[in-house]
Structure 1
């Protein structure tokens, strides 16, 4: 576990919003490449939120200001956060005594953008590929640690750790966090994001294709606006292996997706979250980075995103929700992960889908905090 320098706070601006909330906008500078901190910085944006004190005589004590932090890690990869008041769990979490940080992970939202246009300014295609590889969970987690240190610089030692809450890919980031920087964590909540502990995406997609067939529905995403997702979705399962367009290779094993089949009595199914090389020909923005995407798909030089030995001796409390009918994160692989994370408590259900945190928030949060509070109905 290497030492990480605190992020540089560039600016902080606080304003009130409806619902008796105070929102603060933060801009931080962090190293572009954490292994080469001298090589320049990128900017990371986040919004924090706490209850607005409407008392006649506001409480300005340190205890009131230095509430325990909860950092929200968004799904994706490559998706920004909405404003805090637009999340249905914000008030619920604040009511439990936290202040919340919603992070625009590097390359997303108001953080330094990673788009086809900005990537083209970085240099030739090989340089672009190396740069894009800096946007996986390992870099995001180190950004988080740097930001945590900046935000808690004047906190007493017992308050410096923070809690994290990860949805989907945010849960994958949580597993990376637990593996390599657990010293920064007080507790971890994971919703639909118990990362499969695999070193190649092939087994993941074999299972997910079967789940897509069961659900008979597709995911709708505008890929022109989601370059990080399109290029780095498969490599988030890679360690020492190239993805080699895994979903594309494996689709031939499932005839229901074959557009060229001649049996008219058999339906043709849509796929789910999968990414295919032809997308980098069909989508105008992705077309600009086609060679870069192909280079990354053939690259096997990927470091570890999890450490099984560390997870086996984990001492950070972990509370997770895992969905039997999840079309995006295989349930059985998730439960294998849960068994390998010491002390991980899991709420499982077959009546929610991957978006349970959004569509069934009250129930999911109730179950997660019941695990935390050791409440048995």
Structure 2
């Protein structure tokens, strides 16, 4: 059953904030659009300038992730302020996040199964967006997607190309015809290069990383949440290397991590507190739970813990490296591993369902014929050094979308929209009209 043909209960309230009109939309939609039964709530916040009229174009923002809610702005700078000059903006909480029936370990346990968590991919998010568009009476809208949000746009152009006028991608496009293994081979290769740049920029960082991991292999250090910190979990802080300020952020974390108590090393309390914040998935468990499922269906076969398998092929990333003796020793990046569902209390309740999703055969999310004929005009910021979404995969997919104009730049990391959103959105906005 197609969204737009299924009635949804759409409720809207209006208030003012930041000198803007703020409309909050809540709608009830089926969990499974192809087999309507149980329902969930989906929420979107609409922001509009005082002089915006009903003919002002609507821009739907699709957040990166997966598993992250839409931004909760407290000021109107960056891309948001620039976009408000031209659009009414809809900030959609993707299903399972924010006010869209958030799923975490404290939620209704009957919703934390594979039947529900398998319905959090781009196809279901796009169906929710289409229902919202129809419910609001919008003929066509513009769409901005950051990272996984761009994956959702690619699905949108495959399923409902007639609904999009302009498509803006930041932080990459999905690989539409390669297995998750190949995606992770590319991300590990890009991360290795980024790692070497980090070690050149912060020459003492490698020694400190090895020192901490050796210490964790031989000491019982506890995070504020009570669980023992392992060296393999510590190594996942490498996700920071893909962000604009990542080198400096990690350097500060690694600068002085230890107490020396009568000749014995102990991690400092502030170090453990910061690591606890960085390493816990309490705030966004779905990011871990459904992460690899976003790559499913591009080729036959399950994802089967692709990142965990591929890491063993790439020198410096293997799980059981010796931090003292092995020649290369790297942190890991945007990679999810099965043991995280044993070590992170926020993920323990999802251990069985994560295994189920890893072994599942997924339907395709993308249609090449629809992409090739999509009437929308698009522009994409593609970052040369992106360790999250490899440039080569983004460009291969961009070439298959009828009128997608790539801007290839080494000025930004994956979080360019957060770091310099005003200029990035202004450039993409001009590109689709050039």
TM-score range relative to shorter protein: 0.7 to 0.9
Paired residue for 1:48? Answer: 46
Alignment match, 2:234: none
Q: What corresponds to 1:108 in structure 2?
A: 97
Check 1:357–1:185 CA distance in 2 against 1; reply closer, same or farther (3 A cut): same
Closer/same/farther in 2, CA of residues 203 and 8 from structure 1, 3 Å limit: same
Give 2:291's aligned residue. 233
* Residues 178 and 324 (structure 1), Cα distance of their counterparts in 2 relative to 1, 3 Å cut: same
Which residue number corresponds to residue 282 of structure 1? 343
Q: What count of residue pairs does the alignment treat as equivalent? A: 351
Task: Normalising by structure 2, report the TM-score.
Answer: 0.77
Bigger radius of gyration: 2
1:92 aligns with 2:152: no
**d(CA) in 2 for partners of 1:332, 1:199:** 12
Give ranges in structure 2 of 5+ residues lacking alignment.
196-237, 241-277
2:327 counterpart SS class = coil
Provide closer, same or farther for how the CA distance between residues 9 and 51 of structure 1 changes in structure 2, counting only shifts above 3 A: farther
Distance 1:71 1:77 in 2: 16
Q: How does 1:187-336 map to 2 (within 5 A)?
A: 187-216=166-195, 217-219=238-240, 220=278, 222-239=280-297, 240-258=300-318, 259-261=320-322, 264=325, 266-300=327-361, 302-336=362-396
Is this contact kept in 1: 2:2–2:33, CA < 8 A? no
Q: Deviations over 1:223-263 (max 9, x none)?
A: 23322211211111111421110000111112312343376
Which is further off, 228-237 or 79-88?
Answer: 79-88
CA distance in 2, matches of 1:119, 1:249: 32
Change (3 A) 1:318 1:288: same
Superposed CA deviations along residues 132-172 of structure 1, whole A, max 9, x for unmatched, are 100100000000000000011xxxxxx61111110100000
Instruction: Report the 3-state secondary structure (helix = DSSP H, G, I; strand = E; otherwise coil) of the residue aligned with 2:48.
Output: strand
1:163 aligns with 2:142: yes
- The question of 1:139 aligning with 2:124 is answered yes
RMSD over aligned CA atoms reads 2.0
Match of residue 155 from structure 2: 176
SS at match of 2:132: helix
Q: Is the 2:280–2:344 contact (alpha carbons within 8 Å) kept by the matching residues of 1?
A: no
1:65 alignment partner in structure 2:
54
Describe the superposition over 1:196-226 as per-residue Cα deviations: whole angstroms up to 9, x where unpaired. Answer: 1135210000010011111124334532332
Farther off after superposition, 230-239 or 80-89: 80-89
Q: Are the structure 2 counterparts of residues 370 and 16 from structure 1 closer, same or farther at C-alpha, using a change threshold of 3 Å?
A: same
Distance in 2 separating the partners of 1:285 and 1:144: 29
Q: After superposition, what is the alpha-carbon deviation per residue over 1:49-98, rounded to whole angstroms, capped at 9, x for unaligned?
A: 10125xxxxxxxxx8234221100000001011224546222211212x1
Paired residue secondary structure (1:43): strand
Gaps of 5+ in 1: 54-62, 153-158
Deviation for aligned residue 1:100? 0.5
Q: Distance in 1 between matches of 2:286 and 2:326?
A: 38
> C-alpha separation between the residues in 2 aligned to 1:292 and 1:15?
40
CA contact (8 A) 1:48 1:99 kept: yes
Name the structure, 1 or 2, with higher relative contact order (CA <8 Å, separation 6+).
Answer: 2
